[in-house]
Amino acid sequence: MRLTTAGESHGRALTAIIEGLPANLTVETDEINTYLALRQSGYGRGARQKIESDRVEIISGVRNKRTLGSPLCLMVENKDYKNWEEYMSPYGADVTKRRLTKVRPGHADLTGLLKYDQTDARNILERASARETAVRVAAGTIARMLLRKLGVEVAGYVKSVEGIADERSYTFDEIKAAKSSELFMPDKVLCEKAKKRIDEIKDAKDTAGGIIEVHVRGMKSGFGSCMAYTEKLDAHLAYAAMSVQAIKGVEIGLGFEAARRPGSLVHDEIYYQNGKFIRKTNNAGGIEGGMSNGEEIVLRAAMKPIPTLMRGLDTVDFETKEACRAATERSDVCSVCACDVIMESVICFALAEKILSRLGGDNMRDLKARWDALPQ
């Protein structure tokens, strides 16, 4: 299975093409729209979320709510395009307006200008923008539907906002319920502290990041490989996570904490009970030797603060080479909730890729039969 996305932040629309989906997977657009709405929710979001109200449109690959086995094309329209068509139209645009030369630290602006031989950073930022993740959420929700047919579920929550961290452990069902919180945090007290901190950061015209924790329940053992480093499941998931804008670090299981402990407090001891192998701990986060081991997969991703600050940072003007303050674009103060939904979505897609690469199947009946034939 393969995903390709296209579109600019203020262009007409964002699109995605999914190749390799089995036929006869039921696709519910209402569920996709629910996750698109969740991506736009959360405390600390900016004004653009009120403009867009994202909705998915299926262009091809589905008939009567069922996939055909052909490439599936999705589109999410940018409703703000009507205000930008004069500057963004592919058929002729006024490129002298809405130019950006005061390159912003932490963005792709400067490096992109140099790499692609441009003089206007808008030609870089429009694609580098996290707005692109709207269609990745749409595609990831379709992958979520496929996983659900196999009994695999994915859920995440916000583990920290800036320095306000939740050190508790939660059951999978508790994590699923976290979406009812304004910050997708299970602990109500910590959620209120984090909201207060976001308000302080907003008043200072600054931004905040955080940590997202994603759990996967129901993934059978043996997906990934210890025989080829390119096929390791943890590497595949880390790649998916790091492909998301603003993600600067990924942990699986204990992650960096494993480096601070002796081996006796890291490795999950193995037992044999009631006819099967079990582990009483899950420090490995469900992956050993690059393969799923049947336990819950646990992954954490660190999101840096949004680099567009309303007060700007020191930089230079790419055109004049003079010192200045970075330009500002409409932005969020904190988008950890959006990041949580995006992380779940890319993990769903990455898992579906691994399952299909191992089991194949041109239709859901064949895929389900092969999945069911695997040991628990």
Q: State pLDDT tens for residues 267-300.
A: 999 999 999 999 999 999 999 999 999 999 999 9
Q: What is the pTM of this model?
A: 0.95
Neighbour tally for 53: CB within 10 Å: 12
pLDDT of res. 39: 96
pLDDT of res. 50: 57
| Dihedral angle computed from the Cα positions of residues 159, 163, 164 and 169, in that order, rounded to the nearest 10 degrees | 40
Please determine, for residue 330, whether its predicted confidence score (pLDDT) is greater than 70.
no
pLDDT of res. 49: 54
Longest dimension (CA), the chain: 73
Q: State pLDDT tens for residues 143-196.
A: 999 999 999 999 999 999 998 999 999 999 999 999 999 999 999 999 999 999
pLDDT of res. 14: 98
Averaged confidence pLDDT in the chain: 95
Q: Which tokens sit at 282?
A: 């899950």
Per cent of the chain over pLDDT 70 is 98
Neighbour tally for 95: CB within 10 Å: 13
Would you place residue 324 in the very low, low, confident or very high pLDDT band (cuts 50, 70, 90)? very high
pLDDT of res. 51: 59
Q: State pLDDT tens for residues 11-59.
A: 999 999 999 999 999 999 999 999 999 999 999 876 555 555 899 999 9
| Dihedral angle computed from the Cα positions of residues 98, 101, 104 and 110, in that order, rounded to the nearest 10 degrees | 120
Please determine, for residue 376, whether its predicted confidence score (pLDDT) is greater than 80.
no
pLDDT of res. 312: 85
pLDDT of res. 48: 52
Query: Which comes out higher in pLDDT, residue 309 or 336?
Result: 336
Task: State the DSSP string of 126-195.
Answer: HHHSGGGHHHHHHHHHHHHHHHHHTT-EEEEEEEEETTEE------HHHHHHGGGSTTS-S-HHHHHHHH
Neighbour tally for 359: CB within 10 Å: 18
Q: Which tokens sit at 141?
A: 């929700």
| Rg (alpha carbons) of the chain, rounded to whole number | 22
Q: State pLDDT tens for residues 200-232.
A: 999 999 999 999 999 999 999 999 999 999 999
pLDDT of res. 210: 97
Residue pointed to by tokens 């390791």: 232
Report, as an integer, the average pLDDT of 125-152.
97
Report, as an integer, the average pLDDT of 324-331.
79
pLDDT of res. 45: 79
